[in-house]
Chain A
Amino acid sequence: MNPLRRFLRTPEAVAGAILLAALIAMALIAPLLFPGDPQAIAGPALLPPFQDWSLPLGTDRLGRDVQAELFHGARTSLAVGLAAAAAALAIGSVVGTLAGFAGGLVDEMLMRVTDAFQTVPSFLLALAFVSVVGPSLGIVVAAIVLGTWTGPARIARAEVLSIRERDYVASARAIGMHPLEIAFREVLPNALPPVLAMSSVIVAAAVLTEAALSFLGLGDPNRVTWGGMIAEGRAVLRTAPFLSIVPGIALVLTVLGVYLAGEGIVETTAVRRGLS
Protein backbone atom coordinates (compact mmCIF):
# COMPACT_ATOMS: atom_id res chain seq x y z
CA MET A 1 0.00 0.00 0.00
CA ASN A 2 1.03 3.56 -0.53
CA PRO A 3 3.19 4.60 2.47
CA LEU A 4 1.80 8.13 2.32
CA ARG A 5 -1.72 6.81 2.76
CA ARG A 6 -0.65 4.60 5.63
CA PHE A 7 1.04 7.64 7.19
CA LEU A 8 -2.16 9.66 6.87
CA ARG A 9 -4.14 6.88 8.54
CA THR A 10 -2.06 7.05 11.73
CA PRO A 11 -3.62 9.76 13.94
CA GLU A 12 -0.40 10.46 15.89
CA ALA A 13 1.55 10.87 12.71
CA VAL A 14 -1.02 13.28 11.30
CA ALA A 15 -1.01 15.30 14.55
CA GLY A 16 2.77 15.45 14.40
CA ALA A 17 2.73 16.49 10.77
CA ILE A 18 0.23 19.27 11.49
CA LEU A 19 2.31 20.60 14.38
CA LEU A 20 5.44 20.49 12.24
CA ALA A 21 3.67 22.15 9.33
CA ALA A 22 2.48 24.93 11.67
CA LEU A 23 6.03 25.43 12.93
CA ILE A 24 7.43 25.57 9.40
CA ALA A 25 4.68 27.97 8.36
CA MET A 26 5.47 30.21 11.36
CA ALA A 27 9.15 30.21 10.47
CA LEU A 28 8.46 30.98 6.81
CA ILE A 29 5.94 33.79 7.27
CA ALA A 30 7.71 35.44 10.23
CA PRO A 31 9.54 38.03 8.11
CA LEU A 32 6.34 38.78 6.11
CA LEU A 33 4.03 39.05 9.09
CA PHE A 34 6.51 40.80 11.35
CA PRO A 35 8.95 42.69 9.16
CA GLY A 36 11.66 44.61 10.90
CA ASP A 37 13.44 43.81 14.12
CA PRO A 38 11.39 41.53 16.40
CA GLN A 39 13.47 42.87 19.28
CA ALA A 40 12.27 46.45 18.71
CA ILE A 41 9.93 48.03 21.27
CA ALA A 42 6.33 47.73 20.08
CA GLY A 43 4.18 48.93 22.97
CA PRO A 44 3.92 49.35 26.73
CA ALA A 45 5.90 46.92 28.85
CA LEU A 46 4.34 43.78 30.35
CA LEU A 47 1.06 43.98 28.45
CA PRO A 48 -0.82 40.71 29.19
CA PRO A 49 -2.06 38.55 26.27
CA PHE A 50 -5.47 39.10 24.62
CA GLN A 51 -5.77 42.74 25.85
CA ASP A 52 -4.66 44.63 22.80
CA TRP A 53 -5.49 42.90 19.48
CA SER A 54 -2.58 44.55 17.71
CA LEU A 55 -0.34 42.76 20.24
CA PRO A 56 -2.38 39.55 20.84
CA LEU A 57 0.25 37.77 22.96
CA GLY A 58 1.19 40.90 24.89
CA THR A 59 4.61 42.40 25.43
CA ASP A 60 7.62 41.57 27.60
CA ARG A 61 9.50 43.61 30.18
CA LEU A 62 10.94 45.91 27.53
CA GLY A 63 7.71 46.26 25.57
CA ARG A 64 8.68 43.89 22.75
CA ASP A 65 5.90 42.08 20.83
CA VAL A 66 5.78 38.47 22.20
CA GLN A 67 4.01 37.17 19.10
CA ALA A 68 6.68 38.60 16.79
CA GLU A 69 9.36 37.09 19.01
CA LEU A 70 7.58 33.74 19.01
CA PHE A 71 7.43 33.64 15.20
CA HIS A 72 11.03 34.68 14.77
CA GLY A 73 12.04 32.22 17.51
CA ALA A 74 10.49 29.42 15.42
CA ARG A 75 13.01 30.27 12.70
CA THR A 76 15.92 29.83 15.08
CA SER A 77 14.60 26.61 16.59
CA LEU A 78 13.89 25.10 13.20
CA ALA A 79 17.21 26.19 11.70
CA VAL A 80 19.21 24.88 14.65
CA GLY A 81 17.24 21.63 14.88
CA LEU A 82 17.49 20.81 11.18
CA ALA A 83 21.11 21.93 10.74
CA ALA A 84 22.28 20.06 13.83
CA ALA A 85 20.42 16.87 12.89
CA ALA A 86 21.65 16.98 9.29
CA ALA A 87 25.26 17.52 10.38
CA ALA A 88 25.07 14.88 13.13
CA LEU A 89 23.57 12.29 10.74
CA ALA A 90 26.09 13.10 8.01
CA ILE A 91 29.13 12.95 10.29
CA GLY A 92 27.81 9.95 12.21
CA SER A 93 27.01 7.86 9.16
CA VAL A 94 30.34 8.63 7.48
CA VAL A 95 32.33 7.80 10.63
CA GLY A 96 30.24 4.68 11.29
CA THR A 97 30.57 3.49 7.70
CA LEU A 98 34.33 3.98 7.64
CA ALA A 99 34.75 2.22 11.00
CA GLY A 100 32.48 -0.69 10.13
CA PHE A 101 33.73 -1.16 6.59
CA ALA A 102 37.46 -0.73 7.19
CA GLY A 103 37.55 -2.76 10.41
CA GLY A 104 40.81 -3.39 12.27
CA LEU A 105 42.83 -0.43 13.47
CA VAL A 106 40.70 2.22 11.74
CA ASP A 107 37.57 0.81 13.39
CA GLU A 108 39.31 0.66 16.76
CA MET A 109 40.52 4.28 16.53
CA LEU A 110 37.24 5.75 15.30
CA MET A 111 35.18 3.90 17.88
CA ARG A 112 37.45 4.97 20.77
CA VAL A 113 37.01 8.58 19.63
CA THR A 114 33.26 7.95 19.55
CA ASP A 115 33.45 6.49 23.07
CA ALA A 116 35.31 9.57 24.28
CA PHE A 117 32.59 11.87 22.95
CA GLN A 118 29.85 9.66 24.30
CA THR A 119 31.20 9.51 27.87
CA VAL A 120 30.95 13.29 28.28
CA PRO A 121 27.33 14.39 28.82
CA SER A 122 26.36 16.04 25.54
CA PHE A 123 24.89 19.14 27.16
CA LEU A 124 28.07 19.73 29.16
CA LEU A 125 30.07 19.35 25.95
CA ALA A 126 27.88 21.92 24.20
CA LEU A 127 28.07 24.28 27.20
CA ALA A 128 31.86 24.07 27.37
CA PHE A 129 32.24 24.51 23.61
CA VAL A 130 30.00 27.59 23.37
CA SER A 131 31.51 29.26 26.41
CA VAL A 132 35.00 28.82 24.98
CA VAL A 133 34.34 29.70 21.32
CA GLY A 134 31.60 32.27 21.85
CA PRO A 135 27.89 32.27 21.07
CA SER A 136 26.66 32.48 17.48
CA LEU A 137 24.16 30.35 15.59
CA GLY A 138 26.82 28.34 13.77
CA ILE A 139 28.73 27.67 16.97
CA VAL A 140 25.56 26.58 18.76
CA VAL A 141 24.84 24.11 15.95
CA ALA A 142 28.42 22.80 16.09
CA ALA A 143 28.19 22.48 19.88
CA ILE A 144 25.01 20.40 19.60
CA VAL A 145 26.52 18.24 16.84
CA LEU A 146 29.54 17.47 19.07
CA GLY A 147 27.29 15.58 21.45
CA THR A 148 24.86 13.98 19.00
CA TRP A 149 26.87 12.47 16.12
CA THR A 150 27.92 9.46 18.19
CA GLY A 151 24.47 7.81 18.18
CA PRO A 152 24.15 7.73 14.37
CA ALA A 153 27.81 6.61 14.15
CA ARG A 154 27.17 3.56 16.32
CA ILE A 155 24.01 2.58 14.52
CA ALA A 156 25.58 3.05 11.09
CA ARG A 157 28.58 0.94 12.13
CA ALA A 158 26.40 -1.92 13.41
CA GLU A 159 24.40 -1.85 10.18
CA VAL A 160 27.52 -1.73 8.01
CA LEU A 161 29.04 -4.69 9.88
CA SER A 162 26.14 -6.85 8.73
CA ILE A 163 25.90 -5.37 5.22
CA ARG A 164 29.59 -5.80 4.39
CA GLU A 165 29.19 -9.59 4.57
CA ARG A 166 26.45 -9.59 1.92
CA ASP A 167 26.99 -11.06 -1.51
CA TYR A 168 26.52 -7.77 -3.31
CA VAL A 169 29.50 -6.28 -1.49
CA ALA A 170 31.55 -9.31 -2.54
CA SER A 171 30.24 -8.77 -6.09
CA ALA A 172 31.35 -5.14 -6.01
CA ARG A 173 34.82 -6.23 -4.92
CA ALA A 174 34.89 -8.96 -7.55
CA ILE A 175 34.21 -6.47 -10.36
CA GLY A 176 37.13 -4.36 -9.06
CA MET A 177 35.27 -1.47 -7.44
CA HIS A 178 37.40 0.83 -5.28
CA PRO A 179 36.89 0.19 -1.53
CA LEU A 180 35.80 3.80 -0.91
CA GLU A 181 33.21 3.57 -3.67
CA ILE A 182 31.94 0.29 -2.20
CA ALA A 183 31.71 1.89 1.25
CA PHE A 184 29.87 5.03 0.18
CA ARG A 185 27.90 3.89 -2.86
CA GLU A 186 27.03 0.27 -2.11
CA VAL A 187 27.06 0.03 1.69
CA LEU A 188 26.19 3.45 3.14
CA PRO A 189 22.87 3.98 1.28
CA ASN A 190 21.65 0.58 2.50
CA ALA A 191 22.76 1.28 6.06
CA LEU A 192 20.86 4.59 6.20
CA PRO A 193 17.23 3.66 7.07
CA PRO A 194 17.85 2.84 10.77
CA VAL A 195 20.15 5.87 11.04
CA LEU A 196 17.53 8.19 9.55
CA ALA A 197 15.02 6.77 12.00
CA MET A 198 17.01 8.60 14.68
CA SER A 199 16.59 11.98 13.00
CA SER A 200 13.40 12.94 14.84
CA VAL A 201 15.01 12.22 18.20
CA ILE A 202 18.04 14.27 17.21
CA VAL A 203 16.02 17.22 15.90
CA ALA A 204 13.96 17.27 19.10
CA ALA A 205 17.06 17.01 21.29
CA ALA A 206 18.78 19.76 19.29
CA VAL A 207 15.81 22.11 19.69
CA LEU A 208 15.82 21.50 23.43
CA THR A 209 19.59 21.88 23.76
CA GLU A 210 19.50 25.14 21.85
CA ALA A 211 16.72 26.39 24.13
CA ALA A 212 18.69 25.33 27.19
CA LEU A 213 21.82 27.10 25.96
CA SER A 214 19.84 30.26 25.25
CA PHE A 215 18.18 30.02 28.65
CA LEU A 216 21.66 30.07 30.18
CA GLY A 217 22.50 33.12 28.08
CA LEU A 218 24.74 31.21 25.67
CA GLY A 219 22.53 31.54 22.61
CA ASP A 220 23.18 33.83 19.68
CA PRO A 221 22.49 37.28 21.20
CA ASN A 222 21.41 38.72 17.85
CA ARG A 223 18.56 36.29 17.40
CA VAL A 224 15.30 35.74 19.21
CA THR A 225 15.14 32.24 20.66
CA TRP A 226 12.46 30.55 22.69
CA GLY A 227 14.99 29.58 25.33
CA GLY A 228 16.07 33.21 25.57
CA MET A 229 12.43 34.31 25.90
CA ILE A 230 11.85 31.86 28.76
CA ALA A 231 14.99 33.18 30.47
CA GLU A 232 13.74 36.75 29.98
CA GLY A 233 10.37 35.90 31.53
CA ARG A 234 11.93 34.15 34.50
CA ALA A 235 12.61 37.48 36.29
CA VAL A 236 8.89 38.29 36.29
CA LEU A 237 7.60 34.72 36.62
CA ARG A 238 5.17 35.65 39.44
CA THR A 239 3.68 38.79 37.91
CA ALA A 240 3.77 37.85 34.22
CA PRO A 241 4.01 34.04 33.90
CA PHE A 242 2.77 34.13 30.29
CA LEU A 243 6.18 35.43 29.20
CA SER A 244 7.68 32.01 30.07
CA ILE A 245 4.58 29.92 29.42
CA VAL A 246 4.00 31.02 25.81
CA PRO A 247 7.45 30.11 24.46
CA GLY A 248 7.42 27.05 26.74
CA ILE A 249 4.25 25.77 25.09
CA ALA A 250 5.73 26.47 21.66
CA LEU A 251 8.79 24.43 22.61
CA VAL A 252 6.74 21.51 23.91
CA LEU A 253 4.53 21.44 20.81
CA THR A 254 7.54 21.58 18.50
CA VAL A 255 9.32 18.69 20.18
CA LEU A 256 6.08 16.73 20.31
CA GLY A 257 5.38 17.40 16.63
CA VAL A 258 8.87 16.34 15.57
CA TYR A 259 8.63 13.13 17.62
CA LEU A 260 5.18 12.15 16.40
CA ALA A 261 5.90 12.86 12.74
CA GLY A 262 9.24 11.05 13.00
CA GLU A 263 7.65 8.04 14.66
CA GLY A 264 4.95 8.00 11.99
CA ILE A 265 7.53 7.99 9.19
CA VAL A 266 9.56 5.23 10.85
CA GLU A 267 6.45 3.16 11.41
CA THR A 268 5.16 3.43 7.85
CA THR A 269 8.54 2.76 6.26
CA ALA A 270 9.24 -0.11 8.67
CA VAL A 271 6.07 -1.86 7.56
CA ARG A 272 6.96 -1.27 3.93
CA ARG A 273 10.43 -2.74 4.41
CA GLY A 274 8.96 -5.72 6.19
CA LEU A 275 6.62 -6.45 3.32
CA SER A 276 9.12 -6.22 0.49
Chain B
Amino acid sequence: MSLLTVSNLTKRYRRGGKVVTAVDDVSFHIEPGETLALAGPSGSGKSTIAGLVLRLIEPDAGRIEFEGDDFLALRGAKLRARRARLQMVFQDPLAAFNPRATVARVLDDPLRIHGIASRAERPRRIAALLERVGLAADLAPRAIHEISGGQRQRVAIARAIATGPSLIVLDEAVSALDVSVRGQILDLLLDLQSQERIAYLFISHDLGVVRALARRVILLDAGRIAESGDARAVIDAPQSAIGRALVAAAPRLKRTTQDAS
Protein backbone atom coordinates (compact mmCIF):
# COMPACT_ATOMS: atom_id res chain seq x y z
CA MET B 1 0.00 0.00 0.00
CA SER B 2 1.26 3.42 -0.87
CA LEU B 3 2.08 5.86 1.88
CA LEU B 4 0.54 8.78 -0.02
CA THR B 5 -1.80 8.53 -2.96
CA VAL B 6 -2.88 11.71 -4.71
CA SER B 7 -5.62 11.34 -7.32
CA ASN B 8 -6.89 13.92 -9.81
CA LEU B 9 -5.88 16.86 -7.60
CA THR B 10 -7.07 20.21 -8.96
CA LYS B 11 -6.71 23.73 -7.57
CA ARG B 12 -7.99 26.88 -9.28
CA TYR B 13 -7.46 30.49 -8.27
CA ARG B 14 -9.68 33.37 -9.27
CA ARG B 15 -7.59 36.38 -10.15
CA GLY B 16 -9.58 39.44 -11.23
CA GLY B 17 -12.36 37.53 -13.03
CA LYS B 18 -9.88 35.17 -14.71
CA VAL B 19 -9.63 31.60 -13.45
CA VAL B 20 -6.07 30.30 -13.21
CA THR B 21 -5.65 26.56 -12.81
CA ALA B 22 -2.59 26.17 -10.62
CA VAL B 23 -2.80 22.39 -10.32
CA ASP B 24 -4.65 20.48 -13.05
CA ASP B 25 -5.69 16.85 -12.52
CA VAL B 26 -2.45 15.70 -10.92
CA SER B 27 -2.09 12.12 -9.66
CA PHE B 28 0.91 10.42 -8.07
CA HIS B 29 1.85 8.13 -5.22
CA ILE B 30 4.75 7.80 -2.79
CA GLU B 31 5.89 4.52 -1.25
CA PRO B 32 7.19 4.35 2.33
CA GLY B 33 10.81 5.43 2.56
CA GLU B 34 11.22 6.58 -1.04
CA THR B 35 11.91 9.99 -2.56
CA LEU B 36 9.66 11.37 -5.24
CA ALA B 37 10.79 14.60 -6.86
CA LEU B 38 8.52 17.26 -8.29
CA ALA B 39 10.37 19.48 -10.71
CA GLY B 40 9.28 22.24 -13.01
CA PRO B 41 9.75 25.91 -13.80
CA SER B 42 8.41 28.70 -11.57
CA GLY B 43 4.63 28.84 -11.63
CA SER B 44 4.27 25.21 -12.64
CA GLY B 45 2.33 24.43 -9.46
CA LYS B 46 5.06 22.70 -7.43
CA SER B 47 4.55 24.69 -4.24
CA THR B 48 0.76 24.60 -4.61
CA ILE B 49 0.97 20.81 -4.64
CA ALA B 50 3.11 20.96 -1.47
CA GLY B 51 0.46 23.15 0.19
CA LEU B 52 -2.34 20.82 -0.94
CA VAL B 53 -0.60 17.68 0.30
CA LEU B 54 0.02 19.36 3.67
CA ARG B 55 -3.57 20.61 3.87
CA LEU B 56 -2.32 24.20 4.08
CA ILE B 57 -4.46 24.87 0.98
CA GLU B 58 -7.78 23.16 0.23
CA PRO B 59 -8.14 21.58 -3.24
CA ASP B 60 -11.11 22.14 -5.58
CA ALA B 61 -11.20 18.51 -6.63
CA GLY B 62 -9.33 15.27 -6.11
CA ARG B 63 -8.42 12.84 -3.36
CA ILE B 64 -5.47 12.55 -1.00
CA GLU B 65 -4.97 9.30 0.84
CA PHE B 66 -2.31 9.32 3.53
CA GLU B 67 -1.40 6.21 5.53
CA GLY B 68 -4.57 4.53 4.25
CA ASP B 69 -6.98 7.28 5.38
CA ASP B 70 -8.86 9.90 3.41
CA PHE B 71 -6.65 12.84 4.41
CA LEU B 72 -9.05 15.46 3.05
CA ALA B 73 -11.84 14.20 5.35
CA LEU B 74 -9.89 15.02 8.53
CA ARG B 75 -10.94 18.14 10.42
CA GLY B 76 -9.94 20.09 13.52
CA ALA B 77 -8.20 18.17 16.27
CA LYS B 78 -7.99 14.94 14.22
CA LEU B 79 -6.25 16.76 11.39
CA ARG B 80 -3.85 18.48 13.80
CA ALA B 81 -2.97 15.16 15.42
CA ARG B 82 -2.32 13.51 12.03
CA ARG B 83 -0.02 16.38 11.00
CA ALA B 84 2.62 14.81 13.25
CA ARG B 85 3.11 12.15 10.54
CA LEU B 86 3.42 14.62 7.65
CA GLN B 87 5.97 17.38 8.01
CA MET B 88 7.56 20.02 5.84
CA VAL B 89 10.77 21.98 5.34
CA PHE B 90 10.60 25.32 3.56
CA GLN B 91 12.92 27.00 1.12
CA ASP B 92 13.85 30.08 3.12
CA PRO B 93 15.04 28.88 6.52
CA LEU B 94 14.70 32.39 7.97
CA ALA B 95 11.11 33.00 6.88
CA ALA B 96 10.05 29.57 8.15
CA PHE B 97 10.56 30.55 11.79
CA ASN B 98 8.87 33.08 13.99
CA PRO B 99 11.39 35.96 14.06
CA ARG B 100 11.12 36.04 17.86
CA ALA B 101 11.78 32.35 18.35
CA THR B 102 14.78 30.63 19.84
CA VAL B 103 16.03 27.27 18.62
CA ALA B 104 14.70 25.64 21.79
CA ARG B 105 11.22 27.07 21.33
CA VAL B 106 11.03 25.99 17.70
CA LEU B 107 11.79 22.40 18.70
CA ASP B 108 9.73 22.53 21.88
CA ASP B 109 6.49 23.34 20.02
CA PRO B 110 6.00 20.04 18.15
CA LEU B 111 7.03 18.00 21.22
CA ARG B 112 4.55 19.90 23.39
CA ILE B 113 1.67 20.02 20.90
CA HIS B 114 1.75 16.31 20.18
CA GLY B 115 2.45 15.32 23.79
CA ILE B 116 5.64 13.52 22.77
CA ALA B 117 7.61 14.46 25.87
CA SER B 118 6.79 15.87 29.29
CA ARG B 119 7.89 19.38 30.15
CA ALA B 120 10.78 18.08 32.24
CA GLU B 121 11.89 15.70 29.54
CA ARG B 122 11.75 18.14 26.63
CA PRO B 123 15.15 19.86 27.05
CA ARG B 124 16.82 16.47 26.76
CA ARG B 125 14.77 15.61 23.69
CA ILE B 126 15.65 18.96 22.11
CA ALA B 127 19.35 18.35 22.70
CA ALA B 128 19.00 14.88 21.15
CA LEU B 129 17.22 16.33 18.09
CA LEU B 130 19.94 18.93 17.63
CA GLU B 131 22.61 16.27 17.78
CA ARG B 132 20.66 14.10 15.36
CA VAL B 133 20.87 16.83 12.70
CA GLY B 134 24.53 17.51 13.42
CA LEU B 135 24.24 20.60 15.61
CA ALA B 136 25.67 21.27 19.05
CA ALA B 137 23.13 20.99 21.86
CA ASP B 138 24.24 24.34 23.30
CA LEU B 139 22.67 26.04 20.27
CA ALA B 140 19.26 25.66 21.94
CA PRO B 141 19.06 29.03 23.75
CA ARG B 142 20.19 30.99 20.66
CA ALA B 143 17.75 33.14 18.68
CA ILE B 144 16.88 31.90 15.21
CA HIS B 145 18.24 35.04 13.55
CA GLU B 146 21.61 34.61 15.25
CA ILE B 147 22.54 31.29 13.65
CA SER B 148 23.74 30.66 10.09
CA GLY B 149 21.54 29.67 7.14
CA GLY B 150 22.84 26.12 7.12
CA GLN B 151 22.29 25.75 10.87
CA ARG B 152 18.79 27.15 10.45
CA GLN B 153 17.91 24.59 7.80
CA ARG B 154 19.22 21.87 10.12
CA VAL B 155 16.93 23.22 12.86
CA ALA B 156 14.05 23.14 10.35
CA ILE B 157 14.84 19.49 9.62
CA ALA B 158 15.06 18.77 13.36
CA ARG B 159 11.62 20.33 13.80
CA ALA B 160 10.26 18.21 10.94
CA ILE B 161 11.57 14.92 12.40
CA ALA B 162 10.60 15.81 16.00
CA THR B 163 7.16 14.22 15.69
CA GLY B 164 8.36 11.05 13.95
CA PRO B 165 6.82 11.64 10.51
CA SER B 166 6.51 9.08 7.72
CA LEU B 167 6.63 11.76 5.00
CA ILE B 168 8.41 15.09 4.78
CA VAL B 169 7.63 17.61 2.05
CA LEU B 170 10.85 19.42 1.13
CA ASP B 171 9.80 22.54 -0.75
CA GLU B 172 13.00 23.84 -2.38
CA ALA B 173 14.62 22.93 0.92
CA VAL B 174 18.20 23.29 -0.31
CA SER B 175 17.73 25.92 -3.02
CA ALA B 176 18.52 28.90 -0.81
CA LEU B 177 21.70 27.39 0.62
CA ASP B 178 25.16 27.87 -0.80
CA VAL B 179 26.72 24.92 -2.56
CA SER B 180 28.97 23.56 0.20
CA VAL B 181 26.15 23.69 2.77
CA ARG B 182 23.74 22.19 0.24
CA GLY B 183 25.80 19.02 -0.03
CA GLN B 184 25.91 18.59 3.74
CA ILE B 185 22.15 19.06 4.08
CA LEU B 186 21.48 16.56 1.28
CA ASP B 187 23.75 14.06 3.03
CA LEU B 188 21.83 14.63 6.27
CA LEU B 189 18.51 14.05 4.46
CA LEU B 190 19.77 10.82 2.88
CA ASP B 191 21.11 9.63 6.24
CA LEU B 192 17.78 10.34 7.98
CA GLN B 193 15.92 8.55 5.22
CA SER B 194 17.99 5.40 5.46
CA GLN B 195 17.84 5.35 9.28
CA GLU B 196 14.21 6.25 9.91
CA ARG B 197 12.58 5.22 6.59
CA ILE B 198 11.08 8.65 6.01
CA ALA B 199 9.63 9.28 2.55
CA TYR B 200 10.36 12.61 0.88
CA LEU B 201 8.32 14.63 -1.55
CA PHE B 202 11.23 16.63 -2.88
CA ILE B 203 10.28 19.80 -4.71
CA SER B 204 12.99 21.51 -6.70
CA HIS B 205 13.77 23.27 -9.94
CA ASP B 206 17.36 22.01 -9.75
CA LEU B 207 17.56 18.79 -11.79
CA GLY B 208 21.11 18.11 -10.62
CA VAL B 209 19.93 17.77 -7.03
CA VAL B 210 16.83 15.85 -8.12
CA ARG B 211 18.95 13.35 -10.00
CA ALA B 212 21.19 12.79 -6.99
CA LEU B 213 18.40 12.39 -4.44
CA ALA B 214 15.24 11.00 -6.03
CA ARG B 215 14.36 7.62 -7.49
CA ARG B 216 11.36 8.88 -9.43
CA VAL B 217 10.64 12.34 -10.78
CA ILE B 218 7.54 14.14 -12.02
CA LEU B 219 8.03 17.11 -14.34
CA LEU B 220 5.30 19.71 -14.09
CA ASP B 221 4.32 22.32 -16.61
CA ALA B 222 1.52 24.83 -16.00
CA GLY B 223 -0.06 22.67 -13.32
CA ARG B 224 -0.07 19.43 -15.35
CA ILE B 225 2.23 16.43 -15.28
CA ALA B 226 4.34 16.71 -18.42
CA GLU B 227 6.49 13.66 -17.85
CA SER B 228 7.24 11.18 -15.09
CA GLY B 229 9.36 8.15 -14.47
CA ASP B 230 12.77 7.04 -13.25
CA ALA B 231 14.73 10.17 -12.30
CA ARG B 232 17.93 9.30 -14.14
CA ALA B 233 16.13 8.14 -17.27
CA VAL B 234 13.93 11.24 -17.43
CA ILE B 235 16.76 13.69 -16.81
CA ASP B 236 19.23 11.98 -19.15
CA ALA B 237 16.73 11.69 -22.00
CA PRO B 238 13.74 13.97 -21.45
CA GLN B 239 10.81 13.32 -23.79
CA SER B 240 8.67 16.41 -23.12
CA ALA B 241 9.40 19.93 -24.30
CA ILE B 242 9.51 21.24 -20.74
CA GLY B 243 11.84 18.42 -19.73
CA ARG B 244 14.29 19.33 -22.49
CA ALA B 245 14.06 23.01 -21.54
CA LEU B 246 14.76 22.26 -17.86
CA VAL B 247 17.73 20.04 -18.65
CA ALA B 248 19.13 22.64 -21.04
CA ALA B 249 18.77 25.30 -18.35
CA ALA B 250 20.60 23.26 -15.69
CA PRO B 251 24.23 24.37 -15.16
CA ARG B 252 26.56 22.16 -17.18
CA LEU B 253 29.25 22.00 -14.53
CA LYS B 254 26.95 20.45 -11.95
CA ARG B 255 25.82 17.69 -14.32
CA THR B 256 29.32 16.71 -15.33
CA THR B 257 30.55 16.53 -11.71
CA GLN B 258 27.64 14.31 -10.81
CA ASP B 259 28.15 12.12 -13.86
CA ALA B 260 31.73 11.67 -12.77
CA SER B 261 30.83 10.56 -9.26
A171 pairs with B88, CB closer than 8 A:
yes
Contact with B along A28-50 (1 / 0, CB 8 A): 00000000000000000000000
B92 at the binding interface (Cβ < 8 Å): yes
Q: A168-B98, A170-B56, A172-B109 are in contact. Are A178 and B90 (CB under 8 A)?
A: no
Task: Give B142-187 interface residues, CB cut-off 8 Å to A.
Answer: 145, 159, 163
| Residue among A168, A178, A186 with max Cβ neighbours from chain B (10 Å) | A168
B160 to chain A, nearest CB (A): 8
Report the separation of the CA atoms of residues A189 and B101 in the bound assembly, to the nearest whole angstrom. 11
A-side interface size class: 10 to 19
A175 pairs with B110, CB closer than 8 A:
yes
Where the two chains meet, the residues of A that have a C-beta atom closer than 8 Å to any C-beta of B are 166-168, 170-178, 186, 189-190, 276
A177 pairs with B109, CB closer than 8 A:
yes
A140 to chain B, nearest CB (A): 35
What chain B residues lie within 8 Å of A171 (beta carbons)?
88, 90, 96-97, 159
B4 to chain A, nearest CB (A): 15
B97 pairs with A168, CB closer than 8 A:
yes
A178 to chain B, nearest CB (A): 7
What chain A residues lie within 8 Å of B92 (beta carbons)?
167
What chain B residues lie within 8 Å of A167 (beta carbons)?
90, 92, 95-96
B84 at the binding interface (Cβ < 8 Å): yes
Q: Which of A166, A173, A178 contacts B56 (CB 8 A)?
A: A173
B-side interface size class: 20 to 34
Contact with A along B78-89 (1 / 0, CB 8 A): 011101101110
What chain A residues lie within 8 Å of B110 (beta carbons)?
175-176
20 chain-A/chain-B pairs, Cβ below 8 angstroms: A166-B95, A167-B92, A168-B95, A168-B96, A168-B99, A171-B88, A174-B54, A174-B56, A174-B87, A174-B88, A175-B109, A175-B159, A175-B163, A176-B110, A176-B114, A177-B113, A178-B113, A190-B98, A190-B99, A190-B100
What chain A residues lie within 8 Å of B54 (beta carbons)?
170, 174
A166 and chain B: residue at smallest CB distance:
B95
| Residue among B84, B86, B99 with max Cβ neighbours from chain A (10 Å) | B99
Report the separation of the CA atoms of residues A173 and B56 in the bound assembly, to the nearest whole angstrom. 7
Task: Give B51-90 interface residues, CB cut-off 8 Å to A.
Answer: 51, 54, 56, 79-81, 83-84, 86-88, 90
A170 and chain B: residue at smallest CB distance:
B56
A177 and chain B: residue at smallest CB distance:
B113
What chain A residues lie within 8 Å of B84 (beta carbons)?
175-176
What chain A residues lie within 8 Å of B163 (beta carbons)?
175-176
What chain A residues lie within 8 Å of B99 (beta carbons)?
168, 190
Report the separation of the CA atoms of residues A170 and B84 in the bound assembly, to the nearest whole angstrom. 14
Report the separation of the CA atoms of residues A166 and B96 in the bound assembly, to the nearest whole angstrom. 8
What chain B residues lie within 8 Å of A168 (beta carbons)?
95-99
Q: Which of B81, B90, B97 contacts A176 (CB 8 A)?
A: B81
Report the separation of the CA atoms of residues A89 and B129 in the bound assembly, to the nearest whole angstrom. 39
Report the separation of the CA atoms of residues A234 and B55 in the bound assembly, to the nearest whole angstrom. 67
Report the separation of the CA atoms of residues A167 and B90 in the bound assembly, to the nearest whole angstrom. 8
A175 pairs with B87, CB closer than 8 A:
yes
> Which 8 A-B pairs give the minimum distances between C-beta atoms?
A176-B83, A176-B80, A167-B95, A167-B96, A175-B110, A167-B90, A174-B88, A168-B98
What chain A residues lie within 8 Å of B113 (beta carbons)?
175-178
B17 to chain A, nearest CB (A): 21
B49 to chain A, nearest CB (A): 14
Report the separation of the CA atoms of residues A186 and B87 in the bound assembly, to the nearest whole angstrom. 18
Task: Give B108-129 interface residues, CB cut-off 8 Å to A.
Answer: 109-110, 113-114
Report the separation of the CA atoms of residues A276 and B109 in the bound assembly, to the nearest whole angstrom. 25
What chain B residues lie within 8 Å of A173 (beta carbons)?
56, 83
Report the separation of the CA atoms of residues A149 and B20 in the bound assembly, to the nearest whole angstrom. 40
12 additional A-B pairs beyond A168-B98, A170-B56, A176-B84, beta carbons within 8 Å, are A167-B92, A167-B96, A168-B95, A168-B99, A170-B54, A171-B96, A174-B54, A175-B109, A175-B163, A176-B79, A176-B114, A186-B98
What chain A residues lie within 8 Å of B100 (beta carbons)?
189-190
Report the separation of the CA atoms of residues A163 and B176 in the bound assembly, to the nearest whole angstrom. 21
What chain B residues lie within 8 Å of A276 (beta carbons)?
145
Report the separation of the CA atoms of residues A170 and B89 in the bound assembly, to the nearest whole angstrom. 11
Report the separation of the CA atoms of residues A186 and B144 in the bound assembly, to the nearest whole angstrom. 14
Report the separation of the CA atoms of residues A189 and B252 in the bound assembly, to the nearest whole angstrom. 46
Report the separation of the CA atoms of residues A176 and B163 in the bound assembly, to the nearest whole angstrom. 10
A185 and chain B: residue at smallest CB distance:
B98
